[in-house]
Amino acid sequence: MSTPKLLFLFLFGCIIAGAQPLQDRWFYACRYLDSEQDVADLAALVKTASASGLNGMLLSCNVEYHSTWPEEKRERLQAVKRICDEQHVELIPIIWTIGYGTMLNRNPNLCAAMPIIGVPYQVQGRKAVIVKQSIPPIPNGDFEVHEGNDFSMTGWIDQPGVVSFADTQVKHGGACSLRLENFTANPYGHGRICLETALKPHWKYRFSCYVKTEGYVDNPRDSIKLQFYDKKGNMRSCIWPAIAPTQDWTRLSMVFSSDDLSEGYLYAGVWDGKNGKVWIDDLTLEVAGVNEVIRRPGAPFVVRNAQNGQIYEEGKDFEAIPPLTAFEEVQAEQEWENANDSTKSLVLNLTANSAIREGDSLLVDYYHPVRIGRQRSTCMSEPILYEMFRESAKEIANALHPKKWFLSMDEIRAGGTCAACEARHTDMAHILADCISRQRQIIKEVCPEANIYIWSDMLDPAHNAHDNYYSCKGTFAGVWNLIPKDLVIACWYNGDISMPFFANLGFRTLGAAYYDEDSLDGSRKWLHICRQTPHCNGIMYTSWQNKYQLLPDFGKMVNVVDN
Average pLDDT over residues 167-171: 97
Q: Does domain 146-287 have CATH number 2.60.120.260?
A: yes
pLDDT-derived band of residue 149, with 50, 70 and 90 as boundaries? very high
Question: Cα–Cα distance between 270 and 214 in angstroms, integer?
Answer: 13
Give pairs for 390-396: CB < 8 Å, separation 24+. 390/442, 390/445, 391/67, 392/64, 392/65, 392/66, 392/67, 392/95, 392/96, 393/442, 393/443, 393/445, 393/446, 394/446, 395/66, 395/67, 396/63, 396/64, 396/66, 396/93, 396/95, 396/446
Options 1.10.510.10, 3.40.50.720, 2.60.120.200, 3.20.20.80; CATH for 24-107+380-559 is: 3.20.20.80
Per-residue model confidence (pLDDT) at position 343: 47
Residue intervals in the chain for CATH 2.60.120.260:
146-287
Alpha-carbon separation of residue 381 from 213, 386, 409, 552 (angstroms):
43, 9, 15, 43
Span 492-543, pLDDT tens digits: 988 999 999 999 999 999 999 988 999 999 999 999 999 999 999 999 999 9
Residue intervals in the chain for CATH 3.20.20.80:
24-107+380-559
Query: How does the average pLDDT of the chain come out, rounded?
Result: 92
Look up residue 503 and give its amino acid: A
pTM score of the predicted model: 0.91
Burial zone of 340 (CB within 10 Å; 0-12 exposed, 13-18 middle, 19+ buried): middle
Span 263-300, pLDDT tens digits: 999 999 999 999 999 999 999 999 999 999 999 999 99
